[in-house]
Amino acid sequence: MKRTVSILLSVILVLSLVLGVGCSSGADNNGDVVVYSEKEYPALNKHNAFLSVDENGNLQPDGALTVGALVSALNAVNSGDGYFQPQTDAVTPVNYDQLRTVLGRMYDSSVVSAVFVGSDSVTRAEFAVGMCTLLGRGSQEKVKYESLELPKDINFNTENLSCLLEATVPHTVADDGRPWTEAELPTNMKQGFNISDGWLYYVKEDGQLLRNGSLGRLQFGSDGRYTSGDSELDATVAEIIRGFVEADPNATRFELLREAFDYSYEEFSYGNRYSDDGNHNIYDLGHTGWEIKDAKNMFRLKQGNCYCFAAVFWALARGLGYEARAVAGTCLQDFQPHGWVIIEMDGEDYIFDPEWQWAYINEHKKFDKDMFKIPLDKATWWNYRWDKTQ
């Protein structure tokens, strides 16, 4: 729907420019906050940056667009012979009606009204997004830039980042350039794993995000975020981890792993889950590929068997940057089919078994057992057996 609206606006905009619709000659400027020195207002079509940072290096995207900033922006992308000038104090905030009046002299007023909807003061970010729309600039347009120095108050996770880069960073358009969405963005994060708003990122030694690549068993997408390969599961995991971090902002990743383990057995109950063919989801020793499906079903149904408990912890552990392996094997002396998680730490494998933890507490009423990070030499009582080549 958004793409359809964008295409429609682009078509209207092109027609308005070709036919000269919306351009004003000798308009009455009484009460205007910005006027043009010539009678014929110009079409704005340059790829110049049009928003600047303040003396501290901040863009202030949520700050109000002032008359001075608007005048500077219009002059930066001015393709006419004249110049724009303020009609009031430069620090006065610009509201939507005033902005529509100014831009309505260069573009069809219906297009401007569709792009800038509101009545209160316009923020700098809203102005950047609207101007990108009017100028036909998109996040997928290939650009080249001499250097990419982000304002101090924005980073790769900032909303509308592509438009803010388009508005702030001096650049040109070239076939051999790259879209803003693929720009190598400074992160303002430390090297290694970082969690931001519940999402896991990895910052390389050069300060850039790992994108479209893997780190051990962990895969990272074009946005720099860890991904399981399933966007629905990724969003669920990020929401849960966000809650962990908000509850304890100073928690280490290992402390968050403990939170994830506790969540994996405290928030669910045991119950047989049936697969799509009507059979119990009991897997043969060494079976793989069940983690995502069982995790999603557990989140949805709030109950499941050992594989479902394991799948939830597997998903959360990977979302925290641990190369967790969900294992289908057997346990106890009678080789019961069972599922659990293994994580390697400092060169050693450890067992994490949320379903056994649930059973000890809820069925056996034993509260002195801890199935979190069990060394293999301490796990002999449970007789865990699995395919060691996994």
pLDDT in tens, 177-233: 988 888 877 767 889 999 988 999 999 988 788 989 999 999 999 888 999 999 999
Q: Is 273 within 8 Å of 305 (Cβ atoms)?
A: yes
Q: What is the pLDDT of residue 277?
A: 46
363, amino acid identity: E
Strand order across the beta sheet in which 325-331 lies? 325-331, 336-345, 348-352, 374-375
Residue 378 has a pLDDT of: 92
Q: What is the pLDDT of residue 252?
A: 96
Q: Are 297 and 310 spatial neighbours (Cβ–Cβ below 8 Å)?
A: no
Tens digits of residue pLDDT in 10-40: 444 444 443 333 333 333 444 589 999 998 9
pLDDT, position 273? 57
Which pLDDT score, from 0 to 100, does residue 280 have? 57
Q: What is the pLDDT of residue 152?
A: 81
Put residue 36 in one of left, alpha, beta given phi > 0 → left and psi -120 to 50 → alpha.
beta
- Which amino acid is residue 367, in one-letter code? F
CA of 346: how far to CAs of 46, 153, 313, 343, in Å? Answer: 55, 37, 20, 10
Q: Rounded to whole angstroms, how far apart are CA atoms 91 and 115?
A: 24
* CB atoms inside a 10 Å sphere around CB 292: 18
Angle CA 302–306–307, to nearest 5: 85
Tens place of pLDDT per residue across the chain (390 aa): 434 444 444 444 444 443 333 333 333 444 589 999 998 999 888 889 999 999 888 999 999 999 999 999 999 999 999 999 999 999 999 999 999 999 999 999 999 999 999 889 999 999 999 999 999 887 788 999 888 888 888 877 788 989 999 999 999 888 999 888 888 777 678 899 999 889 999 999 887 889 899 999 999 998 889 999 999 999 999 999 999 999 999 999 999 999 999 999 999 999 875 554 444 578 999 999 999 999 999 999 999 999 999 999 999 999 999 999 999 999 999 999 999 999 999 999 999 999 999 999 999 999 999 999 999 999 999 999 999 887
- The 3-state secondary structure of 311-360 reads HHHHHHHHHCCCCCEEEEEEECCCCEEEEEEEEEECCEEEEECHHHHHHH
CB atoms inside a 10 Å sphere around CB 10: 15
Specify the pLDDT at position 295.
Answer: 96
Give residue 28's pLDDT.
Answer: 42
